[in-house]
Each structure stands twice: as structure tokens, then as C-alpha cells.
Amino acid sequence: MAASTTALNPNYSGSWAKTQIIKHPFSTSVDLSFSSKFISLKKKKPNSKTNLIHCALHSPSVLHFPKQTFPNALIPREDTTTTTTTVDTKIHPPHWNLLQKAAAVALDMAEGALVSRERQHPLPKTADPKIQIAGNFSPVPEQPVRHKLPVTGTIPECINGVYLRNGANPLFEPVAGHHLFDGDGMIHAVSIDDGSASYACRLTETQRLVQERALGRPIFPKAIGELHGHSGIARLLLFYARGLCGLVDHKKGIGAANAGLVYFNDRLLAMSEDDLPYQVRITQSGDLETVCRYNFDDQLKSTMIAHPKVDPVSKELFALSYDVVQKPYLKFFKFSSDGEKSPDVEIPLPVPTMMHDFAITENFVVIPDQQVVFKLQEMIRGGSPVIYDDNKKSRFGILRKNATDANDMIWIESPDTFCFHLWNAWEEPESDEVVVIGSCMTPPDSIFNESDECLESVLSEIRLNLKTGLSTCRQIISESEQVNLEAGMVNRNLLGRKTRFAYLAIAEPWPKVSGFAKVDLSTGEIKKYFYGDQRYGGEPFFLPRDPNSEEGNEDDGYILAFVHDEKTGKSELQIANAVNLQLEASVKLPSRVPYGFHGTFIDAKDLANQAQNSG
């Protein structure tokens, strides 16, 4: 398979910052290599369609784990002329007192004993770093800005600004289970100015990254790769014991800020749903600097999901926060265009529910309350805390955007409609319906738990009738042309309004992306753009010709996507015309760009107003 060819390519260089970068202040000879036991729950298949989709993660484990070291992954920043208050990125080895040093030794020994017992058990594919971060999923070192990159073709004149894409890029080689989503956040930035392009990539200086770098090894639990079964409980206990002893500080946040990006109120925010956002500043030279863990001037007291929605008309930001332990399990809130937060609206959910995304319409927020839930007690039984609960009713909640409580929320049941992402939603008053566009995923928990069934991600139109309380769901693309579609968007100038087109990643062989599709949501017509033999990408980013205008044809714009050639090991930014899917320009990048998650584009005019600090 292509995946194995990639892994064997000598051009790949892992960027692991080995644990010997900084000596552990009270180091022991305990081997911290870790192999956690994982018991996947047997569950009823919610949808037993014929499996025609090839899944890269289901291929035999022949991938070679990148073992090359990159001892100097933390490349000094070139741009040191700025005066903003950025986070301190210097490495500060911890200063522990004698009691703390003794506690560290004891906890390291406990961890070592746990490890030696656990490493006899094989890892599932969903937590095996040899699979999860093989080939071009493996991390790269930071890169300072490189200017005047080679461009093939011509970058359209209307594109001036910076394209940014987030992704997971673990600083340290995993010592235990690791899922693709667990890595430290890294942002890749391509700045375009009058047809000339530059590139930089930087790790987001999250608290977990800063603390782990100071300790010289990974110490924060990996939310998906490690926290399952008894070893997951042990990991949590060890982590919190280290917290009690003052060896780590989890109160400053545990998130990796690796999933989403949004430019809101003149600030670029990097987000993962288990923490506050991090503010990252784009410097004049096109480099990136982490400013702070951003709490919206002390207004936000809880985590925020990685897919907040900016209404293109009001410029308000809508967001959710979910809690896996205590009620309320879900909160909704919004920020005015100048960053003033509304009071939280508590959404009553019966159980804590995984909610990666949601949608807005002109007047409503649409909240998916689906069947992938958190059951922490499953860890005691040896399983994953994220499970598919067949007994729970899946439904969508519709709430007015300006609601101050959830009393008027309308819940509409909608079976078998688990969507990891929702691409858009809008109102159709003539039929009393809210229309939701998403990719329905089966098995619903397959991203998190190993399954024999190949993943399917089916672009669907879900209609929620506010008057009758009934729903319908139909596949948008005909069965004969069915293809896995994940990661993408509609024209964001029309978010929450009826859109004709969606631009979505062709996620095959899963989890790789061999191209993107432009889908006519009303007719089901699909036009495909493939990157070519052994070339893969990620989320296609639709950039309208005028990033701030609702005028013009909906598809008048360009698709931006990082593409990686697994034969040559080279990466590029492709810019394709969204009307005819013709390649307009390709920017050759100076270093490899791993496959990643979500992106955004900041127009040069908006970037000129970028806030210079956190306040």
C-alpha cells in the first residue's frame, strides 16, 4: 500500500526531541517505554453496509516508526524584533525541593513498574504510534520563515494574506499509546504578498508543551491514545499525584491546541476542545508567536470546542463547552464581534457526550446530541471511556442564538446521524425545516476505538422539522459515486445560509486524503480533484475571491490545500480554481508538511488590524 511506501521513504526525518534534551532533575534508570492494555468494547454495528472503502489504518502493521532523532527540534526564532508579551519559550528545568525529588523518584518507579507489566500487551491500531504517526503523519521540526518560495503557475492577484493550518506534531516520541489527535499543536503558515510566498511552522506553546519540554519527556496523559483501561486510570492517578506534589501543574491547562483555527476579534486562536484557546500572533515577517492561553479577558472559565462558528453577518462567535465529568455536561455561549461574552446557557444532556462540532443558521444553533458518549466507568472494566451507546437516542437540539436558557430548545430525534463535523445548516421557513449538512460516520466511534468494520463517511442532508418534530436523512451523492468525504467546508461568507456547494476532502484510503470533491448539495453532482499518484493532502480550504464579501457567485474563489508527495517527500501548497477545479499555482515548500487538521485564511487587510497582545 501507499502507506508502507511512505514509511520506507528515506526522505522522512522524524523530529523527536529525545528525553535526553534535558536531564530529568532526579533521573532514574527506569525505562518509561509504555504499552497500555486496551480492551475494545464489542458493540452492535449501527449500520452494516457493504464495506467497499479501503482503510489505511486497517492495513497490516508494516509501517516503520520514524526513529531518526532530531535533537535540536526547537529552532530559535529569527524574528526577535517584536515587542509583544509572548509566552516564555525558554527551557527552564524545574527546581524541586528534596521532598519533591523524593516524590518524583517514587512516582517514576511506580510508573516503571506499571510500564513493565503493561508493555507485554499489544496496542490497538487506534493507539499504536507505529501506525498513528507513521509516514507523513510523523512530526517535523519547527521552521523559521523562508521567503520567496518557488511558485509554479501564478498565484491569483486577489489572494493576499496568510493561510494557516493546524495539526498534531508531537514534540516527544511517545512512550506509550498515541493517537493521531494527541500530538502537540503545530501551525503551518504560508504568507502570500503580491504573488510571492513565504512559509513558517511553529509549535503552539501550550502549557503542556512548555512543562514537558522543561521536564525533558512526555508526562501529560494522551487523551485518546493512553486513557483507556486500567493503565489509563493508573496514568491519571500518576499524573494527578505529580500535580499534588507540584511536579506538574495541570491547572494551567492540558490541551494541545492542535485542531482548529479561527481569526476572531483581530486574534488568531488555536484550539483543542479540552482547553481554552491559545492566541498566536503572526509577525510582520510571517513567523508565528504564541501570545498566551486566551480566556477572552477573563470571561471564559471553561474549555471551548475547536469548531466555534463566526456568523458572516453579525461577526459574532458561537461556541460550546462540554464536560466529561460533571453537570452541566454542555454549555453554549457566544461572543459579540468585539469579544464580549454572553452568559453560559446550560444545555441539559442526560450523559456526557462527545461533541466535536455543531452548526449555526441565521437564527439558531444546531447541537448534535449523538451516541458517542463518555463513560469513564468503562475504564474500570478495562475499556475505552469513549464508546458508542446504542441505547441512547441520537438527536439534534435547535436553540435560538440569542437564548438565555434552554427552556425553548427543540429536540428532534435523528437515528444514525453521527457526524464528526457538520459542514453547514440553514433554515427553510416554507417547510418549517432546519437543514443540516454533514458526513454521517459509521461506525460512529471508529476514530477512537478499533473496529473490524471500515469507516464510512457519507455526505448527508438531515432535515429537522420544527413543527412536526420529525427528521429525515438522505445521502446527497448517489450510491454509485459514493466516496468518503471528511474535512472541508462551504463558502464561509454564507455560513448558516443556504449553500449550493461544499468542498470536502476525499478521505480515501482513510485516514489519508487523495483529493477533494466539489459537491452540488442540491443535485448530488460531484466533481473530483485528485492530487495524483501517492500524493495526499488534507482539508481543502475554500477562499472566496473577496474574503469579506457575500457578493458574487458562491463558488467564485480558490481551494487551498497542502499536498504531500510520498514518492519524493516534498510538500507544496496547491491553489486550485473552485469554479473549474483547475490548478492555478503551486508553492513549493522548503520542508515537509505533515497531514493535519483544520485551517483558516487571514486577509492582509484584516491582518493589519491584528491585536498586538492578549488584552
Whether residue 178 is annotated as binding a ligand: the answer is no
Taking only Cα atoms into account, the Rg of the chain, rounded to an integer number of angstroms, comes to: 23
What single-letter amino acid sits at 10?
Answer: P
Q: Find out whether 121 is annotated in a ligand binding site.
A: no
Please give the order of strands across the beta sheet that includes 599-603. Answer: 143-146, 196-203, 185-193, 161-168, 599-603
Closest CA to 173 of 30, 18, 11, 10: 18
Residue 307 assigned to a binding site: yes
Indicate if the alpha-carbon torsion angle 76, 67, 507, 385 is positive or negative: negative
**For 414-521, where are the E strands, in sequence order?**
419-428, 433-442, 456-465, 471-475, 485-489, 501-506, 515-520
Instruction: Tell me how far apart the alpha carbons of residues 349 and 205 are, in angstroms, rounded to a whole number.
Output: 33
- List phi, psi (to 5°) of 506: -80, 100
Asked whether 282 and 607 are in contact (CB, 8 A), the reply is: yes
Element (H, E) at 208: helix 207-215
Q: Give the span between the Cα atoms of 569 and 593, in whole angstroms.
A: 9
Q: Which three cell numbers stand for residue 413?
A: 430525534
Going by C-alpha positions, the residue among 56, 24, 2 that lies closest to residue 509 is 56
> What is the bridge-based pairing of β-strands 330-335 and 345-347?
antiparallel
User: Nine-digit cell at 31?
Assistant: 525505562
The count of residues in the chain is: 615
- Ligand-binding annotation for 230, yes or no, is no
With b for 16 or more beta-carbon neighbours within 10 A and e for fewer, the 340-359 pattern comes to ebbebbebebeebbbbbbbb
Binding-site residue numbers are 307, 356, 421, 598
Binding-site residue numbers for Fe cation are 307, 356, 421, 598
